[in-house]
A = this chain, B = another copy of it.
Amino acid sequence: MTVIYDPQNPLRSPVTSADRVLYAVQQAIVEGDIAAGSKLTETGLAKQFNVSRAPLREALARLERCHLVERTPNAGVRVVTLSYESLIALYQIREELEGLACRLAAEKMANEEVDALSKLLEQHLKDQRVREGESYYQEAGDVDFHYRIILASKNQYLINMLCDELYFLVRMYRVQLGMNGPRVSRAFDEHKAIITAIANRDGELADLLMRRHISASRKNIETKLQAHKEVS
């Protein structure tokens, strides 16, 4: 299985042309450089990236896998549009799966890993760039935290579904709606509580806290999305 987020390959160095194109287009979609809802033509993208349509089609297929584009047979692919319904649907699943991930992590994480994660969090708290609310670092820190717990679950399907199939979409919502508000410090406290639960090997509590954390995050995005819709 091609794991897009490969713990052995965190920098995602492309081994093939299709990888290169995938990473580029993926980022462009997530960050809004390619507008949501716009149509992607194979020939156009192929020219743009100086590759033939074969690797490009593979890249599109993999974009479809992570729900960033939708394909209709004989018609083409279109970048997904952000909507209230999709956001809710996405976060409902995140609650379940990341809750499970927490429960499993509480069982399987080595003490050293827990310490490392705890240190990572402290480091992010001290990091000036985070405190100044620079969106990118904050985003990266949060994603890193969630990724580590998911990976610690050691459940291959769970890892694949969350890191490869859902998280790009999560990031798309957060980036495009500009999630850099006052939730930062509260999120840190929530992260801290989750780690503590995991350290205490209290899977049930870790599960509950993660669900609440994600639920709070969802509510936060909901308000932004509301504002976003009112503008457009």
Q: Which residues of A contact B (CB under 8 A)?
A: 1-2, 15-16, 54, 57-58, 61-62, 64-65, 67, 70-71, 73-74, 86, 89-90, 92-93, 96-97, 99-100, 104, 155-158, 160-161, 165-166
Contacts and interface: CB of A to CB of B under 8 A. Distances in A.
Contacts of A92: 100, 104, 155, 158
Given A54-B54, A64-B2, A157-B67, A93 B89 contact: no
Given A2-B71, A74-B15, A100 B90 contact: no
B156 A89 contact: yes
A17 B12 CA distance: 32
12 contacts: A1-B67, A2-B71, A16-B73, A54-B54, A86-B156, A89-B155, A89-B156, A92-B155, A93-B97, A93-B100, A93-B155, A157-B166
A76 to B, nearest CB: 12
A1 B70 contact: yes
Given A1-B70, A61-B61, A96-B96, A89 B158 contact: yes
A1 B71 contact: yes
Given A1-B71, A89-B158, A92-B155, 15 more contacts: A1-B67, A2-B71, A15-B73, A15-B74, A16-B73, A54-B54, A58-B61, A67-B157, A89-B156, A90-B157, A92-B158, A93-B100, A97-B97, A157-B166, A161-B161
